[in-house]
């Protein structure tokens, strides 16, 4: 049992539906076996639990751990190639790097770097786009388990239009996925996600084998890409003779356990189907800006009732930190003029935490710091001479402090990270 004492900010109620930022200036959180057993004013909790060890975090801010809903593990070393649109960037930058993960020694190093970068940034839960090579996916699950991260991941599959060494067959894709799922699905903090790269790189036969894995692996997740770039969307229509979402839906791959990355250029019919099926969208604003993919229509997603969370994408993104990613989401909405959704700091925290937990079906476990949830948290404690520390000292209340945090915080300011009450950073 441990009693944490801190200024705590979280978003238990969705700010897009009228919820407010919850701010407790001096909270006590009693954590028992990794779960928040009690929460209240510190003095009250302390009175009831005089003997417990106290972890005093009052010099900074305690937030829920970040939930990243779209991040590519094999692209760790491909971050920062600027100046290309999606399909050229894939050919020249991402796919050659992804091919290197055929070597397990190389994959082991990348998996270690990747997991360390997520934890360092305050991310405690992630839906990770895996590798095209089963041993490399195995290594990612291993490293995530070693480090304590909550991870959903799977074998990435494609059977056309990539590099030949990244292509698989329907049977091999099924067999390798099922073996990985047998080892890692619902094993501690890891789960399996069926992961076709995008329908552009998948024949109907391969998408059928994805559907079979999804069907045969109870409670598994599904993730892929959608509507990122106009040239990509036109190619999908040419290949399948239907819209992008329909290319998945006709294989039964659109449902409440589905997370689609990007969706920058959806049709109204696609938004309607996403909402009706309960599927989620992973918004990756930095990547969208870097590849020139477009300005995400958040207003249309919200008015259609589509669930939206955040992803850093990597390597088309520019790093792992969801403070930066959420700030970029804010910038993109500002740039959309009258169609932009004005985002407050509470919206940004929600998108980076509780919205992600909801998209991943983990809302009953993580995403805020309510009683009954797992203690997945980060402690932000900037050095006193930094602009962030100055901003926090002079903030006009908790919402302003949080806005300053999204504007200024980096992984260097994250001094502690916990998953299930276990400290994994600091």
Three-class SS state of 318: coil
User: Which residues lie below 8 Å from residue 371, measured CB to CB, with a gap of 6+?
Assistant: 36, 37, 38, 39
State which residue, 11 or 227, has the beta carbon closest to Zn ion. Answer: 227
CB 282, min distance to Zn ion, A: 8
The residue (of 283 and 425) whose beta carbon lies closer to Zn ion is 283
Q: Measured from the CB of residue 199, what is the shortest distance to Zn ion in angstroms?
A: 14
Using an 8 Å Cβ cutoff, are 376 and 144 in contact?
no
**What are the Cα distances from residue 287, in Å, to 306, 314, 315, 425?**
21, 8, 8, 27
* Location of structure tokens 């972890």: 55
Tell me the C-alpha distance between 294 and 314, whole Å: 17
Structure tokens, 302: 């919200």
- Among positions 308-327, residues that touch Zn ion (CB under 5 A) are 313
Kindly tell me the burial class for residue 12, based on how many C-beta atoms sit within 10 Å of its own C-beta (0-12, 13-18, 19 or more).
Answer: middle
Of the ranges 17-25, 155-163, 307-315, 395-403, which one interacts with Zn ion (CB under 5 A)? 307-315
Tokens of 106: 């190389």
Q: Which stretch binds Zn ion (CB under 5 A): 3-11, 261-269, 274-282, 366-374?
A: 261-269
Using the minimum distance from each CB to Zn ion, give the nearer residue, 6 or 321. 321
Nearer to Zn ion, 36 or 332 (CB): 332
**Closer Cβ to Zn ion, 181 or 284, answer by number:** 284
Minimum distance from residue 228 beta carbon to Zn ion (Å): 8
| Residue whose C-alpha is closest to residue 319's, from 150, 121, 122, 127 | 121
Tell me how far apart the alpha carbons of residues 233 and 241 are, in angstroms, rounded to a whole number. 11
Identify which range of 115-123, 142-150, 256-264, 324-332 contacts Zn ion by CB under 5 A.
256-264
Q: From 47-55, 77-85, 231-239, 258-266, give the range in contact with Zn ion by CB under 5 A.
A: 258-266
- Decide whether 27 or 236 has the Cβ nearer to Zn ion: 236
Name the residue nearer to Zn ion (CB basis): 274 or 402: 274
Please give the size of the binding site for Zn ion, defined by CB under 5 A: 2
Q: Which stretch binds Zn ion (CB under 5 A): 36-44, 106-114, 154-162, 305-313?
A: 305-313
Shortest Cβ distance from residue 43 to Zn ion (Å)? 47
Strands 221-226 and 414-419: unpaired
Q: How far is the CB of 320 from Zn ion (least distance, A)?
A: 14
Give me the least distance between CB of 424 and Zn ion, in Å please: 25
User: Quick one: 10 or 313, whose CB is closer to Zn ion?
Assistant: 313
By beta-carbon proximity to Zn ion, the closer residue of 7 and 286 is 286
Piece in contact with Zn ion (CB under 5 A), picked from 73-81, 116-124, 194-202, 260-268: 260-268
For residue 75, the SS3 value is helix
- C-alpha to C-alpha distance for 80 and 287, rounded to whole angstroms: 10
Identify which range of 255-263, 362-370, 373-381, 382-390 contacts Zn ion by CB under 5 A: 255-263
Of 313 and 413, which CB lies nearer to Zn ion in the complex structure? 313
Alpha helices in 336-418 (DSSP H): 345-352, 354-359, 387-393, 398-408
CA–CA dist 100, 94 (Å, integer): 10
- Cβ proximity to Zn ion: between 261 and 352 the closer is 261
Shortest Å, Cβ 230 to Zn ion: 17
Contact by Cβ (8 Å): 116, 147: yes
Binding mask 335-374 for Zn ion (x = CB under 5 A): ----------------------------------------
| Residue 419: CB minimum distance to Zn ion, A | 24
SS3 184: helix
H or E element at residue 247: helix 244-249
| DSSP-H helix ranges across 94-240 | 95-99, 104-120, 134-147, 170-184, 204-216, 230-240
Task: Give me the 204-243 binding string for Zn ion, x by CB under 5 A, dash otherwise.
Answer: ----------------------------------------
Residue range at the interface with Zn ion (CB under 5 A); choices 79-87, 159-167, 259-267, 354-362: 259-267
CA distance 213 to 220: 9
- Give residues in contact with Zn ion (CB under 5 A): 261, 313
């Amino acid at each position: 049992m441990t009693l944490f004492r801190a200024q705590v900010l979280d978003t238990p109620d969705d700010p897009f539906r009228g919820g407010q930022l919850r701010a407790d200036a001096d909270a006590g959180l009693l954590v028992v076996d990794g779960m928040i057993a009690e929460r209240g004013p510190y003095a009250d909790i302390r009175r009831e639990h005089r003997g417990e060890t106290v972890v005093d975090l009052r010099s900074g801010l305690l937030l829920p751990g970040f939930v990243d809903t779209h991040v590519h593990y094999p692209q760790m070393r491909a971050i920062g190639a600027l100046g290309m649109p999606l399909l050229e960037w894939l050919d020249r930058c991402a796919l050659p790097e992804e091919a290197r993960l055929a070597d397990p020694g190389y994959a082991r190093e990348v998996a270690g770097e990747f997991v360390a970068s997520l934890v360092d940034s305050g991310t405690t839960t992630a839906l990770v786009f895996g590798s095209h090579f089963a041993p490399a996916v195995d290594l990612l699950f291993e490293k995530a388990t070693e480090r304590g991260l909550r991870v959903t991941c799977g074998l990435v599959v494609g059977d056309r239009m990539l590099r030949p060494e990244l292509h698989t067959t329907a049977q091999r894709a099924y067999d390798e996925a099922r073996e990985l799922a047998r080892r890692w699905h619902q094993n501690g903090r890891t789960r399996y996600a069926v992961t076709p790269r995008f329908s552009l790189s998948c024949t109907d036969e391969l998408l059928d084998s994805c559907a079979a894995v999804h069907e045969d692996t109870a409670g598994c997740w599904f993730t892929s890409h959608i509507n990122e770039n106009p040239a990509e969307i036109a190619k999908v229509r040419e290949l399948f003779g239907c819209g992008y979402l329909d290319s998945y839906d006709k294989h039964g791959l659109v449902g409440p356990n589905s997370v689609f990355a990007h969706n920058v250029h959806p049709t109204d019919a696609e938004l309607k189907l996403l909402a009706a099926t309960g599927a989620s969208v992973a918004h990756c604003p930095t990547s969208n800006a870097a590849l020139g993919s477009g300005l995400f229509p958040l207003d249309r997603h919200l008015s259609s009732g589509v669930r939206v969370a955040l992803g850093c994408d990597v390597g088309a993104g520019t790093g792992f930190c969801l403070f930066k990613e959420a700030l970029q989401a804010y910038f993109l909405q500002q740039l959309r003029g009258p169609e932009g959704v004005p985002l407050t700091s509470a919206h940004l925290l929600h998108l980076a935490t509780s919205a992600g937990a909801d998209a991943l079906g983990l809302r009953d476990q993580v995403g805020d710091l309510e009683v009954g949830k797992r203690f997945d948290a980060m402690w932000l404690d900037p050095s006193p001479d930094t602009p962030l520390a100055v901003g926090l000292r002079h903030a006009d209340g908790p919402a302003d402090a949080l806005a300053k945090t999204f504007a200024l915080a980096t992984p260097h300011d994250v001094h502690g990270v916990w998953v299930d009450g276990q400290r994994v950073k600091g």
